[in-house]
Structure 1
């Protein structure tokens, strides 16, 4: 005859009560009952709560009823030929406690895996089919952050999609800030949560009714530390003696990037096939990965000089980020500035004062282009090349205010006089006819 015994496995004030169900000598099952008690309120001899207090009597009553429930299920299972396993016992406990069985896709990390697996068929921001490599990488990093949160804050317990509500998001947001993540990164994490939960809702996975009230966050203020390479610093880099071929190649990409204003991924994809000749004017023509926008960038004499000396060979974005730090170190860009960097791999960035070369990344190319040519090239033309959606975004990006923009416009108009179109502008305009 099957026997039930309750026991504790710790001496803490919040000890789990376990049930040990001995069906025969070889089949002994054990699982948590879902009830918690202080070890000092437990009678080891009687294998039950000590009597006296009302709350302890209630726990004992529930354990007695659970024992009857399990025995009845066992007797019914014998007649049906059911295999009695730990999973069977857990199911009986869940049924007794009115818990809904958890399916695999109820778990947040599992659903992220599903979403990534379906990436080739998802609609992206450009309303096209298929998520970009960068977006997939972002989701994988997001999953890793979620797993760290589960380990640090939930004792390894998985997050269920149905439990993601306003309270959860506030706790998660606070933890991210405590880890040192920037405002925009925290906002992207919240956006990822909303994306996954909305997709789960479409697939009939239970979600919180508060999902629609979860709001993202972003930095709306002017960046406090706009890091770019001035034209003098670019000359300093150009004149630095380098020995390693990898650094010489990375320097070419870096200096070219500061003259064409593209994101790292788009920059490193440029090859000879992107160089076009329109009525004697050399341009770079490319389709931006993030926006899907086709842009044509006139090549300045300095850019032509780099290309005509031999196109740099292709390298990965992580290697580029690594090498240009070394390039800038060799160029003695040692000015101490406010910036962010990762103390170690897979850790959040930490804001502090660092030598400039330590906080240089591929992003400095696009920002240097935008900052150095602001006021010299009309802002709408710069925005077309850098792919900023609004003037406000562009000004924040380079650390300018609307007043700076007003002064720039006044200066531009003061120099404006009736004259023929510049040959380069005319050539590009005529190319669209």
Structure 2
């Protein structure tokens, strides 16, 4: 049985009164109650203020109420799978003392907000995904639950199954939904650490991922890049998008980093022009040397700013003008539908911002050491990198053999 005992740890005139909460032999937590007392007015035997005046009687009454408050919180949470920690005890004390604004973190959307507000290290992409998760939950509440709010304790296996089916009906892929279920798990885990009760099944919820055949890797090879470079374009928007597209194929960055490059990112290091930037997704600082073709693109300055939607649209149109029309297997949206439809298309139809980084990685693979390429593209493992460019471990072995032959290894 859990017990709460008060104690002093100092002999100073205004000593803090501590709460020592024992759940079992291995779960004992101690935190300040927010109340102070002169040790002369404290009974060590009874672990309470000596009842010799009204002020001390009032203090004892507050401590008694705090004990009831903590025990009630414990009894309400004991069967929900909540993790009891020192932080949980501190939260109960703060709630009792009205030290924090009480937000009903048991409501999932409130916990998502709290997760964003209390994690200063979250990157922009993560915040955007969490905002999308909140939007998904709100729409789910409206469409499926008739306005009823989803609570943290509602997140069980049945909820995940229903949530998954709901979003598949909206045209979202299993892997897309899986990303948000992973975020959901992170939010619920964080809420649990704050003492919010969770469902006993929650820890059985696993990430979901659809196993599927790898897509054909869509890249722009060097010959196709030459076609794009030399095609005559009339619209300024197309000329500008071409610069971003070709520059992207030469520096190997994600669109979120590529399209945010400014003159401040271009530096001269010992006579060598480089682009230096901090990757949004990985947080890594990378320096990419600018090859002659890249220097030619920015000779008169960087292309002007463009958003991702327009970049994707204009890149397709530029590639169409350049007759990048090889038939490839890919996916694209038909009639503005949310889902992607697999099929065989002209390459220009399936070109998007992803083609830049992938073209860089593929075209320079075997010419530049793989670890150097990985450092630039931001891949954390070689297996991820090889999968990204459609290579296998056998390709890697053949490449090694070529190096050995050059070294004339006996």
TM range, normalised to the smaller chain?
A: 0.5 to 0.7
**SS class of match (1:206):** coil
Confirm or deny: 8 A CA contact 1:222 1:397 kept in the other structure: no
The equivalent position to 2:278 in structure 1, one of 273, 278, 287, is: 287
Q: In the alignment, what sits opposite 1:390?
A: 381
Q: In the alignment, what sits opposite 1:168?
A: 159
Once the two structures are superposed, residues 63-96 of structure 1 have per-residue CA deviations (whole angstroms, 9 ceiling, x without a partner) of xxxxxxxxxxxxxxxxxxxxxxxxxxxxxxxxxx
Q: In the alignment, what sits opposite 1:44?
A: none
**SS class of match (1:106):** coil
**SS class of match (1:308):** coil
Tell me by how many angstroms 1:263 deviates: 0.7
Aligned: 1:136 with 2:124: no
Q: Name the TM-score, length of structure 2 as normaliser.
A: 0.68
Aligned: 1:408 with 2:408: no
Tell me by how many angstroms 1:259 deviates: 0.5
Aligned: 1:234 with 2:225: yes
Distance 1:269 1:187, change over 3 A: same
Aligned: 1:214 with 2:205: yes
Aligned: 1:195 with 2:186: yes
Aligned: 1:107 with 2:107: yes
CA–CA distance in 1 between the matches of 2:349 and 2:308? 16
Tell me by how many angstroms 1:196 deviates: 1.7
Q: Name the TM-score, length of structure 1 as normaliser.
A: 0.64
Unaligned ranges ≥5, structure 2: 1-102
Instruction: Output the aligned Cα RMSD.
Output: 2.6
Tell me by how many angstroms 1:194 deviates: 0.5
**SS class of match (1:377):** coil
Q: In the alignment, what sits opposite 1:5?
A: none
**SS class of match (1:158):** coil
**SS class of match (1:409):** helix
Tell me by how many angstroms 1:147 deviates: 3.5
Distance 1:396 1:259, change over 3 A: same
Distance 1:354 1:156, change over 3 A: farther
CA–CA distance in 1 between the matches of 2:263 and 2:401? 39
Confirm or deny: 8 A CA contact 2:333 2:341 kept in the other structure: yes
Once the two structures are superposed, residues 137-182 of structure 1 have per-residue CA deviations (whole angstroms, 9 ceiling, x without a partner) of 2222223333343444444443222111122213323444454433
Distance 1:374 1:299, change over 3 A: same
Q: In the alignment, what sits opposite 1:341?
A: 332
CA–CA distance in 2 between the matches of 1:161 and 1:177? 22
Aligned length: 307
**SS class of match (2:298):** helix
CA–CA distance in 1 between the matches of 2:388 and 2:322? 25
CA–CA distance in 1 between the matches of 2:282 and 2:122? 12
Distance 1:137 1:346, change over 3 A: farther
CA–CA distance in 1 between the matches of 2:345 and 2:145? 34
